[in-house]
Structure 1
């Protein structure tokens, strides 16, 4: 069963433009389906965050934020799967599973996702819906840390990112649950 609705725009196309840099992964590829390992347990997954590596960001970068967002979720606000803030500028990769609760280092911490946990929550689109895009973004910031607490909302983090992002790198795998 398809939910028969328009495909939402890429949300980063709606924000003020910033330069791009590169994010790659040993686990996910742009435009290709996610392995079920990176999906939510409700659809047979393991809630594992994929490995990510980034390079080519501006020299003046003082910290990073990593997010995973599904703009295709059947809501008016999409669905936030992961928001990891205050990653030191010296960190340029996250290993597979870095999104597990309590694994952040160097002052970084996870914001509550839309599942209500402070961790990575895997893909789980409605069964039978079209493939959903999962936008894994690395945001290079002009500040050492955002003045946030772990109970901030993903929307509030996004608001702060708009004013502090120097550059952004995005990889967009997909996931679908057959109906």
Structure 2
């Protein structure tokens, strides 16, 4: 069985509702997952946009959310989950606004893709002191058992 990542808020490759963006209340969408391998000791979640600033001429990947050490028994995250509501043991990383927590889509131009990637790891990572995406991925190297991906899109003014 493969790991699967979904959201009741939007279908794969469909538009993310404005509620979950800077044009709405900017709360994280609800997420659900299944098929986590039995040997999993922790999960990590990274949400990013590879189309920044303009999908016609992308220059960088903008990171929206970084979480790690989620317990493998968790099956998802509620909409608008606050730090205090994260599953026990979950640690937060730093997004490209240089803060922890979710920062929703806010593309300056065009329709952007947002990749929600969930990783099953064979270990619990040490406290990385609010790592950015690159530091988290480096710490995960050699520990990924499986991963799942959900892609949503957003264009302002839709």
Q: TM-score, normalised by structure 2?
A: 0.88
Determine helix, strand or coil for the equivalent of 1:60: coil
- Report the counterpart of residue 140 of structure 1 in structure 2: 120
Whole-Å Cα distance in 2 between the matches of residues 31 and 131 of structure 1? 12
- Report the counterpart of residue 94 of structure 1 in structure 2: 77
Contact 1:33 1:174 in 2 (8 A): yes
Structure 1 regions of 5+ residues with no counterpart? Answer: 1-18
- Report the counterpart of residue 112 of structure 1 in structure 2: 94
Q: What RMSD over aligned residues (CA atoms) do the two structures have, in Å? A: 1.9
Deviation of 1:178 after TM superposition, in Å, equals: 4.0
Determine helix, strand or coil for the equivalent of 1:50: coil
Whole-Å Cα distance in 2 between the matches of residues 131 and 68 of structure 1? 16
Contact 1:23 1:169 in 2 (8 A): yes
Deviation of 1:20 after TM superposition, in Å, equals: 4.8
Whole-Å Cα distance in 2 between the matches of residues 70 and 146 of structure 1? 26
Whole-Å Cα distance in 2 between the matches of residues 142 and 92 of structure 1? 17
Q: 1:20 to 1:149 in 2, by over 3 A?
A: farther
Q: 1:69 to 1:31 in 2, by over 3 A?
A: same
The one of 89, 106, 111 equivalent to 1:124 is: 106
Structure 2 regions of 5+ residues with no counterpart? Answer: none
Q: TM-score, normalised by structure 1?
A: 0.79
Which is strand-richer, 1 or 2?
A: 2
Whole-Å Cα distance in 1 between the matches of residues 3 and 74 of structure 2? 15
